[in-house]
Amino acid sequence: MSIRIKVSSALLLALCSCSGSPSSSEVAATDARPADASAASASAQTTPAASTQPAATANSTANANPSTQVPVNTANNIYALRTETLDGKPADLASYAGKVTLIVNVASECGYTPQYAGLQKLHAEFAGSGFAVLGFPSNEFGGQEPGGPEQIAQFCSSKYGVQFPMFSKIETKAGAKQSPVYAALNAATGKLPNWNFCKYLVGKDGQPIAFYPSKVAPDSPELRAAIESALK
């Protein structure tokens, strides 16, 4: 019995020594585990944020695309209107979309009538760059455009060699008979002609850019510079 007790005591001592304080390497390994776990946890937390980045990039690209996000401005768009040619045929001004135009209320018996020559020169010079003069006869100021379509066409071609588009006689002044073209020009610029040969410069998008009174000649440096700028 005494021998068994000693052996059991020895075993107890051995067991106690094995279950004693952990070694330094074990402490280090134990201390490192929380740090690794924290790093893993942090990595796991940042993963969802990273996964949302492609969606944010896609949204940013869509917002930056004018064709899908920016609506076309149709207010006062001259090229969204329809009128008639000088000989009475339907004319869709949409055919001038993408071009720069100069809209002029013309007359055959006005002191400014010689501007026809300068307008034709402008039309011929810049036509190849996407520019056109558009003539709208009007008899409102001094009754200086009394003729009919054939008379107007004959006068313009024989006297000044006009080749730019001419449209049917219209009224520019505000009222029930006002041309929709001039209603839109007025809405955009706040200006209406006060005499013959007033001019409106219209951009490629159909939006009026500027108004020029009768005294501004077609060869005016101011007007030419504005046309060249709009064509860029």
- The 10s digit of each residue's pLDDT in 106-132 is 999 999 999 999 999 999 999 999 999
110 is a domain residue: yes
Q: At what angle do helices 53-63 and 24-51 cross, to 10 degrees?
A: 20
- H-helix or E-strand containing 7? helix 2-18
137 is a domain residue: yes
Check residue 75 and give its pLDDT.
78
Catalytic residues: 110
- pLDDT confidence band for 189 (50 / 70 / 90): very high
How many Å apart are CA 22 and CA 207, to the nearest integer? Answer: 85
149 is a domain residue: yes
Check residue 222 and give its pLDDT.
98
154 is a domain residue: yes
In one letter, which amino acid is 140? E
Q: Taking a C-beta distance cutoff of 8 angstroms, is the pair 182, 58 a contact? A: no
107 is a domain residue: yes
Residue 219, pLDDT above cutoff 60: yes
8 is a domain residue: no
Residue numbers of the domain that contains 218: 78-231
Q: Where are the beta strands (DSSP E) in the chain?
A: 82-84, 90-92, 100-106, 131-137, 199-202, 208-212
Check residue 31 and give its pLDDT.
45
- pLDDT confidence band for 55 (50 / 70 / 90): very low
How many Å apart are CA 172 and CA 177, to the nearest integer? Answer: 8
The average confidence (pLDDT) of the chain is 80
- What pLDDT, in 10s, does the model give residues 133-147? 999 999 999 999 999
Query: Contacts by 143-151 with C-beta closer than 8 Å and gap 24+?
Result: 144/107, 144/108, 144/109, 144/110, 144/113, 144/196, 145/106, 145/107, 145/108, 145/109, 145/110, 145/169, 145/196, 146/109, 147/108, 149/86, 149/87, 149/88, 151/108
Check residue 21 and give its pLDDT.
45
Q: What CATH number does residue 220 fall under? A: 3.40.30.10
Check residue 74 and give its pLDDT.
66
214 is a domain residue: yes
Q: How many domains does the chain have?
A: 1
82's tokens:
């329809």
35-49 average pLDDT score: 44
Identify the three-state secondary structure at position 166.
Answer: strand
Residue 3, pLDDT above cutoff 90: no
Percentage, residues of the chain above pLDDT 70:
68
Check residue 5 and give its pLDDT.
40
pTM of the model: 0.69
Residue 57, pLDDT above cutoff 50: no
24 is a domain residue: no
- What pLDDT, in 10s, does the model give residues 85-98? 999 999 999 999 99
